[in-house]
Amino acid sequence: MNLGMPPSKIANTMIEFEHMKKISRTSPSKIVFLIIDGVGGLPHPETGKTELESARKPNLNRIARDSLCGLIDPISPGITPGSAPGHLAIFGYDPVKYNIGRGVVEALGIDLELKPEDITARGNFCTVDNKGIIIDRRAGRVSTDKSTELCRSLNNIAINGAEISVLPVKEHRFVLILRGEALSPELADSDPQQAGLAPKKIEALSPQAQRTAEIVNNFVSQASIRLQYEPAANMVLLRGFSRRPDIPSIPEIYKLKPAVIAIYPMYRGLAKLVGMQVLPGGESITEQLNSLRRYYADYDFFFVHFKSTDARGEDGNFRAKVQAIEELDNALPSLLSLDPEVLIITGDHSTPATLAMHSWHPVPFMLKSKWCRPDNVTEFSEKACLAGGMGRFPATEIMPLAMANALKLDKFGA
C-alpha cells in the first residue's frame, strides 16, 4: 500500500499472476524461507546498536557474506503491517488487495478450517453495568477455562438461517462463525472499542447484509440472556466480520509444492490459506529444523517461522530479543547442512524493543543461492543490508527473486 500514491507499478494483481503462471516451471530445486518475526529493530539509546547489531550471530553473518542483501518494505514506507499482511507480502500477494479480516485471522489462530462462505468475527466477553454500559471490554480477562465453558453454552444458540459456532481462543477472546446460505460479512462492529458506551447494534453495510445483521443481532440478544447472571463476562462484543479471501494459491501461481513449519497456529493458518501443507512444528527452532530435514525430500518450498524475536520485541525486552536472535543463529547449521538451492532470511516487519510494538521500519533481507550475485554486505543488520544489491525494495518482489534463483522461471518475452 502506498498510502500516498501512485504506482510506478501496475495494480492488477490478477494480470500479474497470469504472467507468473506462464513463466513458472517445476524443478527439483528447493526454496527455504526462514521468516524471523519482527526481526528489524532500532538502536538501543545507550549503545546506538540495534538488536541485530548487538547479537553474536556468526552464522547469519556468514550467510550474508554469500548473499544478495537488501531491506524490504512489507507494505510501503511508513505503514506498520499486522502479521497477516506482513507475511502475505513476502509470499507475493499485494497485502492491501488481499487484506484479511480480524475474524478470519482469529479463526486461523485456533487452527479452524474455514469454508469459503463462512463468516467469522472476533469476539470479546465483556462486563456491562445494569444500564448496559460497558465497564470492562475484557471482562477482567476472564480465565480461558471459564471462557471455554461460556463458549460451550453460546455454541448451542440456534437461529434460523445460519449455523452458529462459538469457539474459545484465550481468556476473554473467542471466535464466532456463521455458516449458511447467502450470508454477508458486510457488517459494522458492535464493539465501540472503549468503555463507557453501550455495545452497538450490528448494522448492515450493504442491503445484501441485512439478513445477516438480523441473525447476528438475534445471536447477541440470546447471548446476553444466557450470560446475564455472570459476575464479569455478562455480555459479548463483536468485530472484524470477514470471510476467507479468494486468493490464488502458491501451487497454482508458481507450480510449487509448499509446506509450512510454524509453532503458532495463526502462521500455519495463513500458510494453509495460500495452499501450503502443514508440517509438524514442535516447540523450538531446533525441532522445527528437524522437521524440515525429515520432510525435505517431499516438498520444494518451505516456510519456517521463528516467533520469539517478535514476542520479546513486543515485551520491550531488548536483551531477550538479542538472545532470541542468538538462539536462532545457533540452530542454523542444521539448516545450512541441507544446502537448499535458495535460502531467504528476512522478517515480516520490524518490532523494535524500544517501541515495544510492530513498526513501519524496513526489514533486513538476504537471499543465498549459487546464482545470487553477492554484494559487499558481510553482516545481517539494518544498516549493512541497506548497502546490499537489492537496496530497499517492496517485499512482494521476493517471490519472483526466489523463483529465479531456483531456476524455476522461464524468460519473459521473445
Helix 318-336 crosses helix 285-295 at what angle (to 10 degrees)?
A: 20
Beta bridge partners of residue 199, listed in sequence order: none
| Closer residue to its own copies (CB): 260 or 409 | 409
What is the C-alpha separation between 303 and 272, in angstroms, rounded? 11
Residues 166 to 185 in contact with its own copies, rule: CB under 8 A: none
Residues 351 to 380 in contact with its own copies, rule: CB under 8 A: 352, 355, 357-362, 371, 373-376
Burial class (CB in 10 A: 0-12, 13-18, 19+), 284: middle
Among 96, 110, 112, 278, binds its own copies (CB under 8 A): 96
| Closer residue to its own copies (CB): 8 or 130 | 8
| Closer residue to its own copies (CB): 102 or 179 | 102
Among 54, 76, 127, 291, binds its own copies (CB under 8 A): 76
* CB contact at 8 A, 223 and 239: no
What are φ and ψ of residue 165, in 5° steps?
-125, 135
Taking CB under 8 A as the binding criterion, the range among 187-195, 213-221, 283-291, 405-413 that sits at the site for its own copies is 405-413
* CB contact at 8 A, 203 and 184: no
- Quote the least distance from Cβ 157 to its own copies, whole Å: 25
What is the C-alpha separation between 302 and 397, in angstroms, rounded? 18
Among 32, 39, 85, 274, binds its own copies (CB under 8 A): 85
As given in the structure block, the three cell numbers for residue 172 are: 476473554
If you ran DSSP here, which 8-state letter would residue 296 be given? Answer: G
* Other Cβ atoms within 10 Å of 102 Cβ, number: 17
- Quote the least distance from Cβ 326 to its own copies, whole Å: 22
As given in the structure block, the three cell numbers for residue 206 are: 450493504
Among 49, 66, 79, 203, binds its own copies (CB under 8 A): 79
- Quote the least distance from Cβ 40 to its own copies, whole Å: 9
Burial class (CB in 10 A: 0-12, 13-18, 19+), 260: buried
Among 38, 82, 168, 281, binds its own copies (CB under 8 A): 82
Residues 293 to 352 in contact with its own copies, rule: CB under 8 A: 352
Give yes or no for residue 151 binding its own copies (CB under 8 A): no
- Quote the least distance from Cβ 275 to its own copies, whole Å: 16
* Bridge pairing between strands 31-36 and 68-73: unpaired
Q: Which of 311, 250, 301 has its CA nearest to residue 98? A: 250
Among 180, 251, 265, 389, binds its own copies (CB under 8 A): 389
Among 11, 133, 135, 182, binds its own copies (CB under 8 A): 11
Taking CB under 8 A as the binding criterion, the range among 74-82, 144-152, 193-201, 277-285 that sits at the site for its own copies is 74-82
Residues 271 to 290 in contact with its own copies, rule: CB under 8 A: none
Burial class (CB in 10 A: 0-12, 13-18, 19+), 389: middle
Give yes or no for residue 75 binding its own copies (CB under 8 A): yes
| Closer residue to its own copies (CB): 345 or 395 | 395
As given in the structure block, the three cell numbers for residue 95 are: 497485502
Give yes or no for residue 146 binding its own copies (CB under 8 A): no
| Closer residue to its own copies (CB): 300 or 382 | 382
| Closer residue to its own copies (CB): 340 or 352 | 352
Per-residue b or e along 308-336, where b marks 16 or more CB atoms closer than 10 Å to that residue's CB: bbbbbbbeeebebbbbbbbbbbebbeebe
Give yes or no for residue 106 binding its own copies (CB under 8 A): yes
Give yes or no for residue 89 binding its own copies (CB under 8 A): yes
Residues 39 to 58 in contact with its own copies, rule: CB under 8 A: 42-43, 50
Give yes or no for residue 5 binding its own copies (CB under 8 A): yes
| Closer residue to its own copies (CB): 105 or 366 | 105
Taking CB under 8 A as the binding criterion, the range among 27-35, 285-293, 332-340, 404-412 that sits at the site for its own copies is 404-412
Angle, CA 245 vertex, CA 100 and CA 215 arms, to 5°: 85
What is the C-alpha separation between 314 and 309, in angstroms, rounded? 9
Among 35, 36, 93, 202, binds its own copies (CB under 8 A): 93
166 in helix, strand or coil? strand
